[in-house]
Chain A
Amino acid sequence: MYYPEPISKLIDSFTKLPGIGPKTAVRLAFFVLNMKDDDVLDFAKSLVNAKRELTHCSTCGHITDQDPCAICQDTSRDGSIICVVQDPKDVIAMEKMKEFNGKYHVLHGAISPMDGIGPEDINVPDLISRLKDEEVEELVLATNPNIEGEATAMYISRLVKPSGIKTSRIAHGLPVGGDLEYADEVTLSKALEGRRDL
Chain B
Amino acid sequence: MNIEQLQLKNYRNYEMLDISFNDRLNVIIGENAQGKTNLMEAIYVLAFSKSHRTPREKELVQWEREYAKIEGRITKRNQTIPLEVMLSAKGKKAKLNRVEQRKLSNYIGALNVVMFAPEHLSLVKGPPQTRRRFIDMELGQIQPTYIYHLGQYQKVLKQRNHLLKQLQRRQIQDKTMLAVLTDQLIQHASLLLERRFVFLDLLRQWTTPVHHSISHGTERLEIRYAPTIEVSESANKEKIESMYTTKFHELQKKEIERGTTLIGPHRDDMTFYVNRKNVQTYGSQGQQRTVALSVKLAEIDLIQSEVGEYPVLLLDDVLSELDDQRQSHLLDTIKGKVQTFVSTTNINGIHHETLREAQLFRVENGTVDT
List chain A positions with a Cβ less than 8 A from chain B. 111-114, 118-119, 147-148, 150-151, 154-155, 158-159, 184-186, 189
**Is A155's CB under 8 angstroms from B180's CB?**
yes
A120 to B166, CA, bound (A): 15
**Is B183's CB under 8 angstroms from A185's CB?**
no
Q: Name the B residues within 8 Å of A148 (CB-CB).
A: 159
Given contacts A147-B184, A154-B180, contact A186 B145 (CB under 8 A): yes
Q: Which stretch, B48-56, B150-158, B328-336, touches the partner chain A?
A: B150-158
A154 to B145, CA, bound (A): 24
**Is A119's CB under 8 angstroms from B177's CB?**
yes
- At the interface, yes or no: B163 with Cβ under 8 Å from chain A? yes
B19 to chain A, nearest CB (A): 32
A154 to B182, CA, bound (A): 11
**Is A113's CB under 8 angstroms from B177's CB?**
yes
A184 to B104, CA, bound (A): 11
29 A-B pairs within 8 Å (CB atoms) are namely: A111-B177, A112-B159, A113-B160, A113-B162, A113-B163, A113-B177, A113-B181, A114-B159, A114-B162, A118-B177, A119-B177, A147-B155, A147-B156, A147-B159, A150-B184, A151-B159, A151-B181, A151-B184, A158-B179, A159-B176, A184-B105, A184-B106, A185-B105, A185-B144, A185-B145, A185-B148, A186-B105, A186-B145, A186-B148
A150 to B159, CA, bound (A): 12
- At the interface, yes or no: B103 with Cβ under 8 Å from chain A? yes
List chain B positions with a Cβ less than 8 A from chain A. 103, 105-106, 144-145, 148, 152, 155-156, 158-160, 162-163, 166, 172, 174, 176-177, 179-181, 183-184
A158 to B179, CA, bound (A): 9
Identity of the chain B residue whose Cβ is nearest the Cβ of A186 in the assembled complex? B148
Given contacts A119-B177, A155-B177, A189-B145, contact A114 B158 (CB under 8 A): yes
Contacting residue for B176 out of A112, A147, A155, A186, CB 8 A: A155
Identity of the chain B residue whose Cβ is nearest the Cβ of A153 in the assembled complex? B180
Identity of the chain B residue whose Cβ is nearest the Cβ of A188 in the assembled complex? B145
The 8 closest A-B pairs by CB, nearest first: A113-B163, A113-B162, A154-B180, A186-B148, A114-B162, A147-B155, A155-B180, A185-B145
Interface of A is mostly: helix
A111 to B166, CA, bound (A): 14
Q: Name the A residues within 8 Å of B184 (CB-CB).
A: 147, 150-151, 154
Q: Name the B residues within 8 Å of A113 (CB-CB).
A: 159-160, 162-163, 166, 177, 181
A130 to B155, CA, bound (A): 32
**Is B103's CB under 8 angstroms from A186's CB?**
yes
Q: Name the A residues within 8 Å of B106 (CB-CB).
A: 184-185
**Is B183's CB under 8 angstroms from A154's CB?**
yes
- Candidate in B144, B152, B159, B166 with the most chain A CB atoms within 10 angstroms: B159
A174 to chain B, nearest CB (A): 15
Identity of the chain B residue whose Cβ is nearest the Cβ of A119 in the assembled complex? B177
Q: Name the B residues within 8 Å of A118 (CB-CB).
A: 172, 177
Q: Name the A residues within 8 Å of B145 (CB-CB).
A: 185-186, 189
Q: Report how many A-B pairs have Cβ atoms within 8 Å.
A: 52
Identity of the chain A residue whose Cβ is nearest the Cβ of B153 in the assembled complex? A147
Q: A111-B177, A189-B145 are in contact. List 13 more A-B contacts (CB 8 A).
A: A113-B162, A147-B152, A147-B156, A150-B184, A151-B159, A151-B180, A151-B181, A151-B184, A154-B184, A158-B176, A158-B179, A184-B105, A186-B145
A147 to B151, CA, bound (A): 10
Identity of the chain B residue whose Cβ is nearest the Cβ of A159 in the assembled complex? B176
Q: Name the A residues within 8 Å of B148 (CB-CB).
A: 185-186
Q: Name the B residues within 8 Å of A189 (CB-CB).
A: 145
- Candidate in A155, A184, A189 with the most chain B CB atoms within 10 angstroms: A184
Q: Name the B residues within 8 Å of A151 (CB-CB).
A: 156, 159, 177, 180-181, 184
Identity of the chain A residue whose Cβ is nearest the Cβ of B155 in the assembled complex? A147
Q: Name the A residues within 8 Å of B180 (CB-CB).
A: 151, 154-155, 158
Q: Name the A residues within 8 Å of B103 (CB-CB).
A: 184, 186
A118 to B177, CA, bound (A): 9
A56 to B155, CA, bound (A): 31
- Candidate in B160, B179, B180 with the most chain A CB atoms within 10 angstroms: B180
B237 to chain A, nearest CB (A): 11
Q: Name the A residues within 8 Å of B166 (CB-CB).
A: 113
A168 to B109, CA, bound (A): 36
Q: Name the A residues within 8 Å of B163 (CB-CB).
A: 113
B202 to chain A, nearest CB (A): 19
A158 to B159, CA, bound (A): 18
A67 to B152, CA, bound (A): 40
Identity of the chain B residue whose Cβ is nearest the Cβ of A150 in the assembled complex? B184
